[in-house]
Structure 1
Amino acid sequence: MIRKFITLFILTIFIWLIWSFSGRNTPLPYPTTYLSVIEEINPSDSLTRNIVGIQPFMEVTDYFSQQSFQAKISEYIVAADAENLLKKNTLIVFPEYIGTWLLLIKEKHSLAEKSSLNEVISTMIYSNAFDYFLGYLKTGDEENKEVSSIFRMKAKAMLAAYYDTFSQLALETETYIAAGSIVLPEPTVINGEIFVKLNGPLYNASFLFGPDGKVIGSPILKAFPNSKEDPYLTAATPENLPIFDLPFGKTAILLCDDSWHEESYINAINESAEIILVSSFCTGNHSMTSKWNGYDGKKVSEMVELEDVGNITTIEAWEKYSLPSQIKNTKAQVGMNVFFRGDLWDIGSDGQPIVLLHNTMLPVTPAGKAGVWSLNF
């Protein structure tokens, strides 16, 4: 009886291994950019500084390998360069969560056919049972231990693809790249490289890459996670948000919800930042033009007026409470907010860039899916 049980157990493990490893290395389609807009804002022959905001349109298949991810990201930069938008010391900005979906790297390609993120999470758990268990042992007091375990399980692979991609592109183009964000456990920067502590708290983190391919300064950690992030992310301290002293001006970089809170701008005010950038991910198709449901986070900005809930659109709320209004309390004269767009299961996305110069919102041509906008200043 024991022998039969052992035989059955070994057979089960063997079948699981075959299923687990199948479909991870099938050919991937070459990424499609869906790029419909390349626009120069405030064109001038005399202005020497510019910020290039990139709104990519990402698909699940873009994240199964570093090669696919880097090829997709590179296409947008190549398109900008072809229009002579990349100059010496150009600053390129990518949206929030651009690197987070690298959790799919080397996973089963059938995940692209799932209809919901919950199905993806379940499949990843079952197909990586042993690694998932090790990730689970490293979790802390997060409410959502499933997601927390997956991020820890994939942290090193995610980080390697993210770092190598943006480091190489910054080095090749000799530009500065605000590389959107990625979820990592306790990231730190040492000598321009990123390190993680697998049993540390998870953060939504962004990094600024310099023309030498190295990370500049400290990680930019999100201080005000929204309700979807709160079950697995740790809130950083807004007073620790870094200000980068760059050749074209002191620059602050904020992640999405942080731009709604006065506390996030304290260092920008104290250090007289000249440029404020925001990387965002607004979930839900057509959500920006829908009625605003109110601020989605633990701590609501004191500026928010309750009578606006349900009476103004989401984009009107962004303009009233986020960067366009908050920047007026600083000395910054340049601002840009870019949004993540993509087709990722049932998540949805929306948003168009918000561009500010001298406290005035500048008109931009909206993109159906992906776009590149260069602001001269």
Structure 2
Amino acid sequence: MRRYYLLFLLSLSGVGFVQCSDPLSNVELEAYRPQHSIYLQKDGTGSRGTLIGMEPVLSKYSYATEENLYQALDPYFRHAQDNDTLFADRSVVVLPEYIGTWLVATGEDRSIFEAETIDEAMQSLVIRNAGSFVRHYLFATSYSPDALKETLFRMKAESMAERYQSVFSRLAKEYRVSIVAGSIVLPHPEVKQGRIVITDGPLENVSFYFKSDGSVDDRIIRKGFPIAEEKAFLKEAKINENASIDTPIGRLYTMICADSWFPDSYSELNRSGAELLAVPSMVTPDDAWTQKWKGYSGYANPADVDTHDIERITERAAWEKYSITGRLKSTKVRGAVNVFFRGRLWNMTAGGDAILSLSGRAISNHAGKEENEGRIYALYL
């Protein structure tokens, strides 16, 4: 199979060097920048600060340039600030899973963004970067059965890390808030001298914490339980190596999406002494919430799972039973937010509704069903 790919890639390598780049213009990007309504929900009466979950509506054009991603996110921070939910040095903002991953397309030719499907867009990305792709494919260490996808992310990893840090450091510093910046796929990243740097290690789904001065914490959260389709190109991490972080409003623990379904994650949370929980998530397609739950993906069901629920209850009901709503009862967490990626990226749609907990009880989510409505949830602690 690798020989087949090699022949295919070598045939492409001559194409990539003769094509001229044709990026989307600033005028086009401004036209593609959507103006979404923003739903804001406030819960709690505390005065210590706020734990805020943000679910911005994003599109493929949001990732065309670094500035475009910033411009897509900034209105949510401004809206939270204008409505007395975002406080300087007393707020922690949680963003969705994979929010940084689509930076893989940033700075690329318009053909990537005019493609109808993700597969077409990624094929165009490979063709337009054929030389780099072939070099990484031939000479970088491979850890994954999906060498094509692994190589694609590896060749863009350095620019992805730089742009990710630039956008979220800027937002954190401008609004003087701390940010759990969702997640991004990078090859075993590290933080050295205040910068996110990549290594030649395996691809991981990772989350970074940005402080209110714009600096990035060197404690990286790595996803321990990637689902079946992620396992084809992502390495699972050891969750006992994920540390909690002291924030201005309390000690925070982060679980990336499916990690919040496993009892071991809550054992680590309890061991860390955390009183706050952030869960960045992404589910697809946009109607996944109403589909029948198929059980744990990529792993055996934990012993406390009622297997009669499989193919009987909805995905939403399963999240509420087996993720934070059901499992936080064994912890001392005061506030928790589980936020989901929203929007359409090429032919991929994302869904899900934020799950909230405050002072040991589940908080009802009152957001409507509008597809193009961004959401902000503020828990006063």
TM-score (norm 2): 0.90
Contact 1:324 1:359 (8 Å CA) reproduced: no
16 and 169 in structure 1: CA distance in 2 versus 1, 3 angstrom threshold:
closer
C-alpha distance in structure 2 between counterparts of 1:23 and 1:365, whole Å: 43
In 2, Cα distance between equivalents of 1:335 and 1:273 = 11
The question of whether the paired residues in 2 share the 8 Å contact of 1:26 and 1:109 is answered with no
The answer to whether the aligner puts 1:162 opposite 2:150 as a matched pair is no
What is the DSSP-based 3-state SS (H/G/I as helix, E as strand, rest coil) of the residue aligned with 1:81? helix
Deviation at 1:334, TM superposition (A): 1.2
Change (3 A) 1:84 1:236: same
Matching residue of 1:374:
378
Given that 1:139 and 1:148 are in contact with CA atoms closer than 8 Å, whether structure 2 keeps it comes out as: no
Shift of 1:155: 0.5
Q: Is the 1:272–1:330 contact (alpha carbons within 8 Å) kept by the matching residues of 2? A: no
Asked if the contact 1:340–1:350 (Cα under 8 Å) also holds between the matched residues in 2, the reply is yes
Aligned to 1:7: none
Q: Is the 8 A contact 2:111 2:121 kept in 1?
A: no
- Corresponding residue for residue 287 of structure 1: 288
Q: How far did 1:243 drift?
A: 0.6
Aligned to 2:244: 243
Structure 1 residue matching 2:213: 3-state secondary structure: coil
Paired residues for 1:114-193 under 5 Å: 114-136=115-137, 137-193=139-195
Other-structure match for 2:364: 363
Per-residue deviation, residues 290-314 of structure 1 (Å, max 9, x unmatched): 2212222234333322211111110
Deviation at 1:13, TM superposition (A): 8.3
Once residues 119 and 280 of structure 2 are traced to their aligned partners in structure 1, the CA distance between those partners, rounded to angstroms, is 25
Matched AA of 1:234: K
Specify the code of the residue in structure 1 equivalent to 2:262. H
Quote the Cα distance in structure 1 between the aligned partners of 2:38 and 2:166: 27
Deviations 1:323-354 (Å, cap 9, x if unpaired)?
11121111112111000011012222111111
C-alpha change, 1:294 and 1:346, in structure 2 (3 Å) is: farther
Deviation, 1:14, is 8.5
Distance in 1 between residues matched to 2:351 and 2:15, nearest whole Å: 42
1:215 is displaced (CA, Å) by 1.2
Deviation string for 1:222-256 (max 9, x for gaps)?
Answer: 00001111011000001111111223211101100
- Contact 1:39–1:372, Cα closer than 8 Å, also in 2: yes
**Which residue in the other structure is 1:24 paired with?**
23
> 2:108 maps to what in 1?
107
Task: Give the match for residue 49 of structure 1.
Answer: 49
- Judged with a 3 Å threshold, the aligned counterparts in structure 2 of structure 1 residues 16 and 235 are, in CA distance, closer, same or farther, namely closer
Larger deviation, residues 205-214 vs 184-193: 184-193
CA distance in 2, matches of 1:80, 1:229: 33
2:85 pairs with 1:81: no
Please give the secondary structure, in 1, of the residue aligned with 2:86.
Answer: coil
Aligned counterparts of 1:15 and 1:208: Cα–Cα separation in 2: 40
Q: What secondary structure, in the 3-state scheme, does the structure 2 residue paired with 1:298 have?
A: coil
Shift of 1:33: 4.6
Instruction: Give the 3 Å change call, closer, same or farther, for CA 13–364 of structure 1 in structure 2.
Output: closer
Cα offsets for 1:51-98 (capped at 9, x unmatched): 111001110011111010111111211111121211132000100000
Inter-partner Cα distance in structure 1 for 2:264 and 2:189: 22
Report if aligned partners of 2:250, 2:274 keep a CA contact under 8 Å in 1. yes
Provide the rounded CA distance (Å) in 2 between the counterparts of 1:315 and 1:278: 15
How far the C-alpha of 1:285 sits from its partner, in A, is 1.6
Q: How far is 1:49 from its partner? A: 1.6
String of CA shifts for 1:241-295, please: whole Å, max 9, x gaps: 1111223211101100000011112231113211111000011121102221222
Q: Distance in 1 between matches of 2:13 and 2:309?
A: 56
Q: Distance in 2 between matches of 1:68 and 1:266?
A: 40
Q: Which residue in 2 is equivalent to 1:70?
A: 70
Count of paired positions: 362
Which AA in structure 2 matches 1:50? T
The verdict on how the C-alpha distance between 1:33 and 1:148 changes in structure 2, with shifts beyond 3 A counting, is: farther
Q: Which range moves more in the overlay, 79-88 or 227-236?
A: 79-88
CA drift of 1:113 comes to 2.9
**1:347 matched residue in structure 2:** 348
Task: Report the counterpart of residue 206 of structure 1 in structure 2.
Answer: 207
One-letter amino acid of the structure 1 residue matched with residue 359 of structure 2: H
Give 1:34's aligned amino acid.
Answer: H
Give the Cα separation in 1 of the matches to 2:87 and 2:359: 22
Q: Note the alpha carbon deviations across 1:111-139, whole angstroms, 9 max, x for none.
A: 22323222222211111110111221214
Match of 1:195 in 2: 197
Q: Which moved more, 1:309-318 or 1:243-252?
A: 243-252
Counterpart of 1:142 in structure 2: which amino acid? S
Query: What CA RMSD, in Å, does the superposition of the two structures yield over aligned residues?
Result: 1.8
5+ long unaligned stretches in structure 2: 1-11
- What secondary structure, in the 3-state scheme, does the structure 1 residue paired with 2:237 have? coil
Amino acid at match of 1:375: L
Write the letter of the residue equivalent to 2:215. Answer: K
Deviation at 1:39, TM superposition (A): 2.1
Match for 1:38: what amino acid? L
- Which is greater in Rg? 1
Unaligned runs of 5+ in 1: 1-11
C-alpha contact (below 8 Å) 2:62/2:68 kept by paired residues: yes
